[in-house]
């Protein structure tokens, strides 16, 4: 049996997370981090936001954004530790911790989105 390495899948999640984060995060940060708190725009009522997140399509988009962003972070963090800090001798531990954190964060996001719907 040929054992295949998961590295191509991880690079795919990394690039997809980078693209999705680059396209959607600036808008969300601008709205929820600046425009609404500073009063530039009137924030939507909490029941409207809850109704939006309860929509299955919006929940899938939000879940995809969260999951891809987490895996983008995990891959970047892993390779930063490998290359930047030169601690390749801990490669298995770093991979388990970084991707494990992304998996746990994805599960928490799925649970919270499921509770809102």
pLDDT in tens, 51-72: 988 899 999 999 999 999 999 9
Residue 2 domain flag: no
Query: pTM for the complete prediction?
Result: 0.80
pLDDT in tens, 1-32: 788 888 888 888 888 888 988 898 899 899 99
Within 10 angstroms of residue 99's Cβ, the number of other Cβ atoms is: 19
CATH of the domain at 42: 1.20.1300.10
Residue 21 domain flag: yes
Beta-carbon contacts of 14 under 8 Å, excluding residues fewer than 6 positions away, are 71, 72, 75, 76
Residue 1 domain flag: no
Residue span of the structural domain in which 36 resides: 8-116
């Amino acid at each position: 049996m040929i054992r295949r390495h998961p590295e191509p899948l991880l690079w795919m999640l990394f690039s997809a997370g980078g693209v999705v984060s680059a396209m959607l995060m600036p808008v969300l940060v601008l709205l929820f981090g600046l425009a609404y708190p500073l009063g530039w725009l009137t924030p939507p009522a909490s029941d409207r936001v809850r109704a939006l997140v309860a929509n299955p399509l919006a929940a899938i988009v939000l879940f995809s954004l969260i999951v891809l962003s987490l895996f983008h972070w995990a891959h970047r963090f892993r390779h930063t530790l490998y290359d930047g800090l030169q601690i390749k001798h801990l490669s298995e531990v770093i991979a388990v911790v970084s991707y494990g954190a992304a998996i746990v964060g994805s599960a928490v996001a799925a649970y919270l989105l499921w509770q809102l719907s």
